[in-house]
């Protein structure tokens, strides 16, 4: 197999005839088989990928091909691909096939990407470790005794282990950035509304975003540039044209929020981040300490609002119309109850119950309405910060990947792992996790950059330069 470091190099190899798409797809398929114990994929589209490789190769030879011609992409199993399984890693959607293709996925196909399979994830994208999957947990390729992070764990594993070129995940409260950090790769959450959610199975509709995983920033930006754009099928879609930006590091100021570097962050993460910051300072990057005063309320606010939205979104899975249906029931009410009890996993049921509680008549004002007000305050914190700085740098996670099973019985501890990532989803701003190469321990550490709303191109411009220095 001819080696390449990014898609531009790969496409040049294909055009020169040194690499055929069939060889490339066969390489990935064999590697997926050799690493099946990682459990990165729920479904592998072997025959379809081989057929697609021949079609795209013919287009390349004819000179009429798309921007992603030959790029092998894995997609999270919450994204629709017509006539293929869409399970959301849940028993309740076992054997269900999508009846249409998600806009983001269709844009990949329109630019001649090759979809090789659908990746494992926490059930309905609810989790921080990929242990809440009906297909079993995905394993971290750095050390298989550790979790890869979640909920987009399979998408991160597929990229980190070299089982595809790039992948798509979804990020509701850090589900792209956290597994990217745990697996030592690049993961990016775009501005809310920049990428259409049409065809994404909803967890929390005002938080969910689709974004890329890659081994380098250039490929992540290429993927986002293709999937970004207005979609009339999504009422929250933003009319904004993605245009690459040029931004030099000596022209920007990066904020360091004091709330993200204090108590609660592992010494190993703190040390690695401080070394990375020193490296950037030595290369002319200017920093300024800032404050995001409502940070302490982000986890409570996030889980009140997302569980409320989840309880509403998941009410459609009742066994009556599609998906899993309980057998041998006495009446309709028992069918509803048993289908949902048997079809949903523990974490999904926990969040449905929490969401139903905070939306109930006696608690709506005390919890849900108050959380919406705090969400606005968190967003205002970022608005004020971006008046002083161009970007904000934080750890992606308070610690590195933990061992399988270590936190599974402590949901509150698991929720706290999202402390540094949920704020971006509450505010609707873009964020990217970059691997820090000078880590002090065995498992990877991630550095997170936030940008202001719709500054995604500028964020990538800064990230590319920072990535090259770390």
**Is 175 a residue of the active site?**
yes
**Exposed (0-12), middle (13-18) or buried (19+): which is 308, by Cβ within 10 Å?**
buried
CA 176, CA 436: separation in Å to the nearest integer?
16
- The angle formed by the CA atoms of residues 465, 442 and 397, to the nearest 5 degrees, is 60
Task: Estimate to the nearest angstrom the gap between the alpha carbon of 356 and the chain centroid.
Answer: 26
Q: Rounded distance, CA 45 to CA 53, Å?
A: 12
Radius of gyration of the chain from Cα atoms?
A: 21
Cα(390)–Cα(144) distance, integer angstroms:
38
Cβ 42 vs Cβ 136: under 8 Å: no
Asked if residues 436 and 445 have their Cβ atoms less than 8 Å apart, the reply is yes
| Residue 47 CB coordination number (10 Å) | 8
Tokens of 181: 């950090």
Task: Give the β-pairing of 72-76 and 114-119.
Answer: parallel
Strands 391-395 and 72-76: unpaired
Q: For residue 196, indicate whether it is catalytic.
A: no
Q: Which of 80, 89, 151, 225 is catalytic?
A: 151
* 23: its two tokens: 């060889």
Which is catalytic among the residues 10, 76, 107, 247? 76
Residue of 133, 175, 225, 455 marked active site? 175
Q: Pick from 157, 77, 168, 158: which is nearest to 124 by CA?
A: 77
Q: Which residues are catalytic?
A: 76, 151, 175
């Amino acid at each position: 197999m001819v080696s390449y470091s990014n898609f531009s190099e790969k496409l040049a190899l294909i055009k020169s005839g040194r690499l055929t798409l069939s060889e490339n797809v066969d390489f990935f398929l064999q590697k997926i088989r050799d690493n099946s114990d990682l459990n990165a994929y729920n479904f592998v589209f072997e025959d379809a990928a081989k057929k697609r490789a021949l079609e795209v190769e013919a287009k390349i030879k004819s000179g009429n091909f798309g921007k992603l011609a030959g790029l092998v992409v894995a997609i999270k199993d919450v994204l629709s691909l017509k006539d293929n399984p869409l399970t959301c890693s849940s028993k309740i959607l076992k054997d269900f096939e999508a009846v249409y293709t998600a806009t983001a996925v269709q844009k990949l196909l329109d630019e001649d990407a090759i979809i090789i399979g659908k990746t494992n994830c926490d059930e309905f994208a609810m989790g921080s470790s990929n242990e809440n999957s009906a297909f079993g947990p995905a394993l971290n390729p750095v050390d298989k005794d550790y979790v890869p992070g979640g909920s987009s764990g399979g998408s991160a594993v597929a990229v980190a282990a070299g089982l595809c070129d790039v992948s798509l995940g979804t990020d509701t409260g850090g589900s792209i950035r956290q597994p990217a950090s745990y697996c030592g790769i690049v993961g990016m959450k775009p501005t809310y509304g920049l990428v259409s959610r049409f065809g994404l199975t909803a967890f929390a509709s005002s938080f969910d975003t689709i974004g890329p995983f890659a081994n380098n920033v250039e490929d992540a930006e290429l993927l986002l540039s293709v999937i970004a754009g207005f979609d009339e099928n999504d009422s929250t879609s933003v009319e904004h044209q993605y245009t690459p930006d040029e931004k030099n590091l000596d022209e920007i100021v990066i904020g360091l929020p004091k709330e993200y570097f204090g108590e609660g962050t592992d010494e190993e993460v703190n040390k690695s981040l401080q070394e990375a910051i020193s490296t950037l300072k030595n290369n002319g990057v200017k920093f300024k300490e800032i404050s995001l005063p409502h940070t302490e309320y982000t986890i409570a606010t996030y889980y009140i609002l997302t569980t409320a939205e989840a309880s509403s979104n998941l009410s459609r899975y009742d066994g009556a119309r599609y998906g899993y249906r309980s057998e041998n029931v006495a009446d309709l009410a028992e069918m509803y109850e048993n289908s949902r009890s048997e079809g949903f996993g523990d974490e999904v049921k926990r969040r449905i119950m929490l969401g139903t509680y905070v939306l109930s008549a006696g608690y709506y004002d005390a919890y849900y309405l108050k959380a919406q007000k705090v969400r606005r305050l968190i967003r205002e914190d970022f608005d004020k910060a971006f008046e002083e700085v161009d970007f904000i740098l934080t750890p992606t996670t308070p610690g590195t990947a933990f061992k399988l099973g270590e936190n599974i019985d402590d949901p509150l501890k698991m929720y706290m792992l999202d402390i540094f990532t949920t704020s971006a989803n509450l505010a609707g701003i873009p964020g990217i996790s970059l691997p820090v190469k000078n880590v002090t321990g065995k498992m990877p550490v991630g550095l997170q950059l936030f940008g202001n709303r719709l500054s995604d191109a500028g964020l990538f411009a800064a990230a590319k330069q920072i990535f090259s220095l770390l």
